Amino acid sequence: MQDYKGSIEKYVDLHIHTTFSDGNSTVEEVMGFAAEKRLAAVSITDHDCTDAYPLATKLGASMGIEVIPGVELSSDIQGTDIHILGYYIDVDNPVFKQKLCEMKHIRYLRAEKIVSNLNKQGIDLRFDTVLSIAGEGAIGRPHIAAALLKEELVYSFKEAFDKFIGYGSPAYVEKMKMQPKEVFSLIKQAGGIPVLAHPGVTGVDQRIPEFIRDGLMGIEVYHTEHSGSIQRHYLRFCTKHNLAFTGGSDFHSFNHNRSEVGSLQIPMSTITSLKNKLPPK
Better pLDDT: 268 or 21: 268
CA 220 to chain centre: 12
Asked if residue 166 has pLDDT above 50, the reply is yes
- Name which of 26-40, 122-136, 249-263 the model is least confident about: 249-263
Asked whether the CA dihedral 134, 52, 177, 82 is positive or negative, the reply is negative
Average pLDDT of span 142-162: 91
Asked if residue 218 has pLDDT above 50, the reply is yes
Give, in order, the Cα–Cα distances in Å from 66 to each of 34, 36, 204, 220, 241. Answer: 11, 15, 31, 19, 27
Gyration radius of the chain over CA positions: 19
Better pLDDT: 2 or 179: 179
Average pLDDT of span 225-251: 95
Q: Tell me the residue type at 176.
A: M
Better pLDDT: 119 or 135: 119
Residues facing residue 105 across a β-bridge:
none
What's residue 3's pLDDT? 46
Asked if residue 272 has pLDDT above 90, the reply is yes
Average pLDDT of span 51-73: 96
Average pLDDT of span 23-39: 94
Asked if residue 179 has pLDDT above 80, the reply is yes
Q: What is the pTM of this model?
A: 0.88
Q: Which CATH architecture has domain 110-165?
A: Orthogonal Bundle (1.10)
What's residue 229's pLDDT? 95
Average pLDDT of span 99-117: 93
Average pLDDT of span 28-48: 96
Provide the Cα torsion 252, 257, 262, 266; round to 10°: -120
Asked if residue 46 has pLDDT above 80, the reply is yes
Average pLDDT of span 155-172: 90
What's residue 177's pLDDT? 81
The chain-wide mean pLDDT, for the chain, equals 91
- Name which of 47-51, 58-62, 63-67 the model is least confident about: 47-51
Q: What is the percentage of the chain residues whose pLDDT exceeds 70?
A: 95
